[in-house]
Chains A and B, each alone.
Chain A
């Protein structure tokens, strides 16, 4: 039993390795892109729409609504990054239903890559919103003594993002695999459904946390000061 699809290698040349994580990621990318292309090429602006168009519009508007609810004022600006995060993780979670398909998010490499993307995108969005100095000042807020703690916070939350997603997805896939091996059909189906739910929740959590980090980075220092203190639970 594999702990990660990274160990399922199809082709290798030096450091260049074509493993299952990359291949299944491409498959997911192809499915998402092809599906979006097939549906959006027949979009109508009339009141009568296809069910697929309705589904896509619901997905897109729901993601924008969630981004807006987090506190980002211009959801269109963040839709590409955050929406793709959610769709990719959710598609990976859905793919666990396909026998033999290894979800890319069950690989720590993938979740680390996504966490690194979040880690990089947060300062980029913050700088584009507040400027370089304005963003850097957030690291010495409320006092310069907090700089090390803020840096540790950045690193730890990135690690938390990666490990949380990896742990949930890997465990879910592994549990299903173990149950398929030792129990009849019914119990694995229930666990698959549970894993599906867990995967969707993880996709939501991953995206919302990324949105929260971006929102914190793009919020001006005045706004931060004006915010009431948040109780720690």
Chain B
């Protein structure tokens, strides 16, 4: 990598103007988070002060105290439970299916894959009404089951794992097969380790997606105690007033876990993303 950098830097996109633009754009992206974090510590009329107060001059934790009058720990737990449940389910189911679709030949393979891929383009909301009525028939509304299991049916994971699995050389498996290695062992001892980075990426994708799946949660969750963190934060908006400070405090708490996860796993994350899509 590093020996390329010297020559590449001559590719004259490094003019100061462009760098300035880049930095400006970055500031633009960071700003909302700065505003959330500082807003969380401002008292209400400062949070909406005009001209704006760029930094909380009289920081307060009152917003957090008010926020925690709601069952925030429970909301956080719910968010984690739902996101982790989806993550686990998707990873198991998708890696098995991806492996079969990429590395095995059987009748209907292409048909099944096309079915998966074409469903991927569909916005979830399109099926939400019938899905909802179905889950209501099961009695799954307002349960973890109702939130987690439908997400496992979503075909993106299968698509991703198939793309990854394809890049793994088949020779390895053929060799194993000749040694009389059975299907399950082949999957467990050869495929899974090779798929690890892919599973890691899919895990994070699914976790983040589950955490942020506002629409499904809005519809599927009934009771205050079952709410997820983003949903709970959204409901803090009143019909007649907006408690900005408390909303910001909630927004900060709802965002931080995701940011932490991303920063901690950035390497696995980027590796995973790129390995599948870039061939």
Do A and B assemble together? Answer: no
* A contact residues vs B (CB 8 Å cutoff): none
Q: Which residues of B contact A (CB under 8 A)?
A: none
